[in-house]
Structure 1
Amino acid sequence: MLVPIGFVVVLSCVFGGYWLGGGHLEVVLHALPLEFMVIGGAGIGAFLISSDGHLLKETARNFKLVFAGPKYKKAHYIEILTLLFLIFKTLKTKGPKAIEKDIEAPHESELFKSFPLFQKDHHAVTFVCDYLRLIVLRVENPLEIDALMEQELGVISEELHHGSHALQTVADGLPALGIVAAVLGVIKTMGSIDQPPAILGEMIGSALVGTFLGVFLSYGIVGPFASKVKGIHDSDCKYYHAIRAAFIAHLNGSQPAIAVEFGRKVIADTVRPSFAELDEAVTSIGQSKAA
């Protein structure tokens, strides 16, 4: 909800302030379509040159993401920590072989079916199952797994941020493209230097709209959009960091309840479940499994 409100505030304050200050909106509105064609078209073209099909799809998804917000909410964190508690408890009491069927066929796993938000998340399921598979294969050195997780999380973060980096690059280039549009307008004006001052003034004003539009789009629209996308992806990366923290605590010998507490503590405060909420979820799922 804040995103559309923000766009309305930006547009209202910029154009409203100009109009209230005595500016003639018709001059800006008259020049806007062609200037937008030059600046926006060049920006989109440059983006296409520097992108591939995957990045284009990712950018399209980012437009939806900005209005939807972070993917992982408190319910997702409660689910994953409760699931990890059950997995760690099973590993402690029954050994690695007890979860082998679950990790080889996660979408058929009765254990995972109790956690629908997690089971529907292909990337999270793959991430968890890959490291559980290493445990089943007796790769249990915490330092080795922690180093591998750190490298994979770096790859995940880099992939998630491709779209926001590309948008920020476009935002950084828009003021320069605005200057290009303005220079073209000045060239057009110089070709009509024999015209009366009133006409020349209007032509110069139209040319300056290009500079205005490039800076406005960069700092008022595209830049904040890219920043919003980056913030959402930073938030979503915390999900994997929570899994990592819990895994490493387990491999260092912590009891299941302590291991998931390590994971809980690295979650952002806005979506972090309280100790009581997590304890209630763990107790509830434990009772249902016992029944």
Structure 2
Amino acid sequence: MPSGLFALLDDVSALVKVSAASLDDVPAQVAKTTGKVSGIVIDDTAVTPKYVVGLDPSRELSIIYQIAKKSLFNKILILSPAALILGYFAPWAITPILMLGGAYLCFEGYEKVHSMFSKHPEVQAESAEIQSITPEELEQQRVAGAVRTDIILSAEIMAIAYSQVTGQPIVNQILVMLAVAVFITVAVYGFVGLIVKADDIGMHLAKDKYGPATQKFGRGIVKFMPHFLNILSYVGTAAMLWVGAEIIAHGIPFTAHLLHDLELALASVPALAWLAKAVACGIFGLILGFLIEKVVHLVKNMLPSKA
């Protein structure tokens, strides 16, 4: 009997050691996954600040907190379980879903590029609409719009996160996906909060109670932030096209091989290989977004108009 007990304890000890060794891989898997979704993270970070533009500055952090809270809720309680369930019962569905999300990103990216180079009369209509609603209603609309965009990007993040842990023990899969959800949400919206309050920080540093160098630095921040936000909007649009197209390209064997061959050809200069792939994906995403926009416009014209 004692020998049987000792054998059982040995088995338990061995199991614990294996589990501990497996769990030691979690930080590395989280780091690897975070690197894979860096383009989407850039996109998410770049597009979010626009949702607080024109609102009460005292409400900016509250709005970002609301978006972050809903983003984390979606990642942990909806998207992660959905990815795990799909991965178990219908793993074949993950790639098509990723590609649909990529197509949406290309469409949104093309719409943003198109709006940059064309004048839209609806901008005035939008301004009139903003004036006709209360600040509370406008805040709710902005939060809802941000969450709609975020859930697409978050779905891409969690699907990619799952693709990096397939074949791992279920505990590892859950821990990695939860860690990625929390880390990316905190990082993205923490940085967004810093961006939108940077001008306030600059104004504070520009006060007379600080030295000339600090005041000059504060004034520099205030002057630089509008330009930075403008640059960030361009970066976000480029990232949206690049990420969306790369997701689609990796889902098609022919284009996946083309990207792989491109990287191999420039492997001696990693930075150039990355840039070439990003530019190629960006152009592909822009073309694809243009085609999707035409299809959407055609379908809208075919639908019966409301009286």
Q: TM-score, normalised by structure 2?
A: 0.23
**Which of the pair has more CA radius of gyration?**
1
Greater relative contact order structure (CA < 8 Å, 6+ sep): 2
Q: TM-score, normalised by structure 1?
A: 0.24
